[in-house]
Amino acid sequence: MKLNPQRIVLTTLLALAPIALRAQAPMGNMHEGTKVVPPSRSLALSFQGKSITLSLTDLANMAQTTIHVHNGHTNAEETYSGPLLSEVLAKIGLVSNAETHALILHSTIVATGSDHYFVLYSGAETQPDFSTGKVIVAVMKSGLPDQEGGLIQLINTTDAKPARWVHGLSSIAVMSLAPQQ
């Protein structure tokens, strides 16, 4: 197996991120009105009675997508990297193809943070073959582990406001209204 230097650096940075978080003085509010959330070190996924947990390393070892977004809370342009949510959901069996289009169209994704903040996405808006927007499970911000956002964040490029971004992303549950075959 050929070693990838970028993945080694990324994995090392992610492994050291919790230590760096503990070493920092309390950050208080990231910006007015927003509390710092507890860091999430893994992501629990559930779908159709199956559950798996992905670590920061698992997420870092997946194909990474970089997005550039405007954060309306901080009024700043920001860059995040991480796997597409569709690729993360594929790990639990939610794969978009011709046979699963009805399932995708009738599914809801509930993403919850370590502070219990949660948001909803339709299944279709998380899949590249249905949406031009991107939804990623961000593990990096500006090329470094995302310590401000609770290590793992859910970020999208489509919303005018970042209200459906989830800091400290800790779980994703997929619920479907599609008839079972």
Whether the full predicted model's pTM is greater than 0.85, yes or no, is no
What is the percentage of the chain residues whose pLDDT exceeds 70?
A: 78
Residue 181 within any structural domain of the chain: no
* Side-by-side strand order, sheet with 76-82: 65-71, 76-82, 140-141, 144-145
Tell me if 94 sits within 8 A of 107, measured CB to CB.
yes
Instruction: Look at the chain and report how many structural domains it folds into.
Output: 1
Residue 120 within any structural domain of the chain: yes
Instruction: Check whether 9 has a pLDDT greater than 70.
Output: no
Cβ neighbours of 22 (radius 10 Å): 8
Q: Determine the 3-state secondary structure of 54 from DSSP.
A: strand
pLDDT in tens, 112-167: 999 999 999 999 999 999 999 999 999 999 988 877 778 999 999 999 899 999 99
Report residue 24's pLDDT band, with 50, 70 and 90 as the boundaries.
Answer: very low
Report residue 29's pLDDT band, with 50, 70 and 90 as the boundaries.
Answer: very low
Residue 135 within any structural domain of the chain: yes
CATH number at residue 99: 3.90.420.10
Structural domain boundaries enclosing 122: 5-176
Mean pLDDT, rounded, for 94-119: 92
DSSP string, 57-82: HHHHTSPPEEEEEEETTTTEEEEEEE
Residue 89 within any structural domain of the chain: yes
Who has greater pLDDT, 42 or 98?
A: 42
Residue 101 within any structural domain of the chain: yes
Token pair, residue 36, equals 């710092």
pLDDT in tens, 67-98: 999 999 889 999 999 999 999 999 999 998 88
